[in-house]
Amino acid sequence: MRSGPAFAAGLFRYLPIVFLLLLWHMASTFHLVSTAVLPPLSSVLSSGYDLVSTAEFWDNTGSSMYRGGMGLLLAIVIGGALGIAMAWWKPIRYVSSPLVEIFYPLPKSALIPITALWLGFGDASKILLIFLGCMLPVTIGAFNGARGAEQTLIWSARSLGASRWRTLLDVVVPSALPELLNGARTALALSFILLVSSEMIVARKGLGYLIGFLGDGGNYDAMFAVVLVVAALGFFADRVYLAFARRVLRWRE
């Protein structure tokens, strides 16, 4: 398939999204939902267009992406390392699992009063909350993946002269990768949700800030436009992730 047919195929592939948007349009034209809470798609798109053409909007997007990206990055790096370490060294597993198990089910926005004491209301506290919320799927994936590392592979590496550290790096980490990356996909999606919810509560800027203040002001056209932007960014990030994961894991097929 070259570019023309490839484009058509891509269009076909993502047709269900068009269908979803059509459903939205019908919902408001046939008054299935009060336009007071869900404005017609057309007005959302037109205020979305106005919004996207301001520099301020991109400033907000940029700061959100920074927070989300940092939180996610920390979650993947620290969460992945923690999961692998927990599988490789029992003491780490014992010491870290109660902490992880207690913090994961807490609503992160409820922790804002506590993180505010320590980090204030700036980027750091939002990054921390996103990190905490995204970490567990990565940790669970890395942990299960590392535990699934085949014993004979570890032994092979050792008998080929690899040190224990080297074996961890060369055998356990790649073995954990498929499940770790699968956890990272969940984390990626969660990071967008957490980013919006943490910015909604207190913020100077960001997409969650926009959603919060547009919503409180009853400007639902613009608010849903921002929601759509978040969804589009999330979708795009997910597709990039999938392409990346396929590349990293190409040895599997």
Partner 1 sequence: MRLWKTLLGAALALPLTLGAALAQTPVKIRIAWVVPVANSPTILYEKPDILKFKGKSYDIELIRFQGTPPMITALAAGEVDVALLAYSSLALAIQNAGMEDLRVIADEAQEGVDGYYTSPFMVLKDGPINTVADIKGKVIATVGQGSAVDIAMRAYLKKNGLEDKRDYSSVEGAFPNMRALLTEKKADLISVVLPFSINPELVEKGKTLFTVKDSLGKSEFIVWVAKDGFLQKNKAAVTDFMEDSIRSLKYLMDPKNRAELLQTAARVSKLPEAAFSGWIYTNKDLYRDPDMLPDVEALQRSIDIQQSLGLLKNKMDISKYVDVSMTQAAAKRLK
Partner 2 sequence: MDSAVLDRAAAGGAQAANAQIVIDRLSHTYRPAHGRPVLAIDDVSLTVGRREFLALLGPSGCGKSTLLYQLGGFLPTETGTITVDGKKVQGPGPDRGIVFQHFALFPWKTVRANVMYGLQRMSLPKAEQERRAQEFIDLVGLSGFEDSYPSQLSGGMKQRCAIARTLAIDPEILLMDEPFGALDAQTRHLMQTELLAIWNRSPKTVIFVTHDVQEAVYLAQRVAVMSARPGRIKAIIDLDFDRRDPHLTKSKAFVDKVDEIWELVRGEAIKAQAGKA
Partner 3 sequence: MARINQGGAPMASPEHDSGQLPHFVRSFGWGVVAWLPVIILLVAWEVVARSGTVTPFMLPTLTRVFERMGSELVSGELPIAVGLTLWRALAGFVIAAVLGIALGLAMARNRFFYWFFDPIISVGFPIPKIAFLPILVLWLGFFDLSKITMIAFNTIFPVVTATIVGVYSVEKEIIWSARNLGTSERGMLWEILLPAAMPQIFTGLQVALPIALIVGVLTEMAMGGYGVGGSMQTASRMADSLGVFAGIFEIAVVGYVMVKLMAMLRRHLLRWHQESQEPTTV
Site for partner 3 in 186-205 (CB under 8 A): 186, 188-193, 196-197, 200
Contact (CB, 8 A) for 67 and 195: yes
**Counting contacts by CB under 8 A, is residue 174 touching partner 3?**
no
**Residue among 42, 46, 54, 156 that touches partner 2 (CB under 8 A):** 156
**Counting contacts by CB under 8 A, is residue 170 touching partner 3?**
no
Q: Closest distance between partner 1 and the C-beta of residue 211, in Å?
A: 11
Residues 180, 190: Cα–Cα separation, whole Å: 15
Residues 187, 147: Cα–Cα separation, whole Å: 20
Q: Closest distance between partner 2 and the C-beta of residue 135, in Å?
A: 25
Contact (CB, 8 A) for 44 and 225: yes
Q: Which is nearer to partner 3, 16 or 55 (CB)?
A: 16
**Counting contacts by CB under 8 A, is residue 100 touching partner 3?**
yes
**Counting contacts by CB under 8 A, is residue 56 touching partner 3?**
no
Q: Closest distance between partner 2 and the C-beta of residue 153, in Å?
A: 5
Q: Give the per-residue contact string, 106-125, with partner 2 (x = CB under 8 A; - = no).
A: --------------------
Q: Measuring CA to CA, which residue among 225, 218, 233 is closest to residue 68?
A: 233
Residues 90, 86: Cα–Cα separation, whole Å: 6
Residues 223, 199: Cα–Cα separation, whole Å: 14
Which of partner 3, partner 1, partner 2, none does residue 202 bind (CB under 5 to 8 Å by kind)? partner 1
**Counting contacts by CB under 8 A, is residue 161 touching partner 2?**
yes
Q: Quote the Cα angle for 13-49-218, to 5°.
A: 110
Residues 76, 78: Cα–Cα separation, whole Å: 6
Q: Measuring CA to CA, which residue among 186, 214, 215, 210 is closest to residue 199?
A: 210
Q: Which is nearer to partner 2, 166 or 239 (CB)?
A: 166
Q: Closest distance between partner 1 and the C-beta of residue 40, in Å?
A: 15
